[in-house]
Amino acid sequence: MHKPLSLGIDTSCYTTSVACTDGKSIVFSKGTMLSVAFGERGLRQSEGLFQHVKQLSPLLCDLFAAIDRSDIACISVSAAPTAEPESYMPVFLAGLHQAETLAAALGVPLVRTNHQSGHIRAALFGNETLLNRDRFYAVHISGGTTDLMIVEPHISEPYRIETIGRSTDLHAGQFVDRVGVALSLPFPAGKHLEALAVRAEQRDVKLTSAVKGTDCSFSGAETAAQRLLHTVPDAELAYGVYDCLARTLSKMFKNAVQAYGDMPFLVCGGVASSALLRELLKKRFAGDLYFGRPELSSDNAVGVAAIGADRSGLWKQ
């Protein structure tokens, strides 16, 4: 007997993704990154939306070739970047409209969620013990967010998320990408900058770490990094970026514990896939740190699909 499945769709700023899950195991997951011209640091929303429209249909065809469509019990989609009331980006319309059409055609419920909640849920694969807690901290570090949150996980209803800290200017991923592009690395630059950083022979570059309470800032660090271009070896500058990220985040974590109490931290988002950053965070912060699986840290639809399974009760079946 086949298990009922939740089909998830996520069309974020730089990745088109589809996935299927029963809430416990991942049945299918595939994504295609959007194309960014070399030397550019991003895409206009209109261009991103156009690329999603082109990329989504082939991905769904691959998914339907891999599963029995009669097993699909619900469609889940990220309809916005975050759960905040005014959160909106046009790129998410590509996934939303496709999900609405599929749900109507298949006669199954449509679950609307958001990209950030999808990241949190994806990071809970392998960290399910956190679902048994009333509350935990989550930090979402990517090109579009550097958010520190208190999460109350609720199966069958949307998680309650309170944002208690964020970057006041550049996000962690923007910091990485801007330095990476300045070093002539492809965009997005994360994996390329990390590969460069681990080759650093000296690790003395200390970029500005600006933290006030549970908020942070990366613009000063980025300016300092740009000034060091061509004056220090590229690998040492790259390592300095990750060292700065770890120092900044660990300060935010310590300040959160002082202000809101001791709880575990779930670290998610594309920047969190970095093995180097994880290593540096563990050295600097003594609290309970949980990391999502690296392959589920970058943008994907697995968490979105799992939220559909949770809220539709598939995990009980």
pLDDT digits (tens, 9 = 90+) for 287-312: 999 999 999 999 999 999 999 999 98
Q: How far apart are CA 77 and CA 109, in angstroms?
A: 11
Q: Are residues 120 and 180 in the same domain?
A: no
Q: Are residues 32 and 65 in the same domain?
A: yes
pLDDT in tens, 169-201: 999 999 999 999 999 999 999 999 999 999 999
Give the pLDDT band of residue 37 (cuts 50, 70, 90). confident
Sign of CA dihedral 42, 178, 214, 287: positive
Q: Are residues 117 and 60 in the same domain?
A: yes
Peptide bond into 188 cis (omega under 30): yes
Q: Are residues 305 and 274 in the same domain?
A: no
Q: Are residues 15 and 89 in the same domain?
A: yes
Considering its fold, how many domains does the chain have in total? Answer: 2
Q: Are residues 120 and 14 in the same domain?
A: yes
Structural domain boundaries, residue 33 = 5-126+297-316
Give the pLDDT band of residue 75 (cuts 50, 70, 90). very high
Q: Are residues 99 and 194 in the same domain?
A: no
Q: Are residues 173 and 279 in the same domain?
A: yes
Within a 10 A sphere around the Cβ of 193, how many other Cβ atoms?
25
Q: Are residues 23 and 99 in the same domain?
A: yes
pTM score of the predicted model: 0.94
Q: What is the CATH number of the domain that holds 302?
A: 3.30.420.40
Q: Are residues 72 and 54 in the same domain?
A: yes
In a domain, residue 64? The reply is yes
Q: Are residues 191 and 238 in the same domain?
A: yes
The predicted pLDDT at position 316 comes to: 56
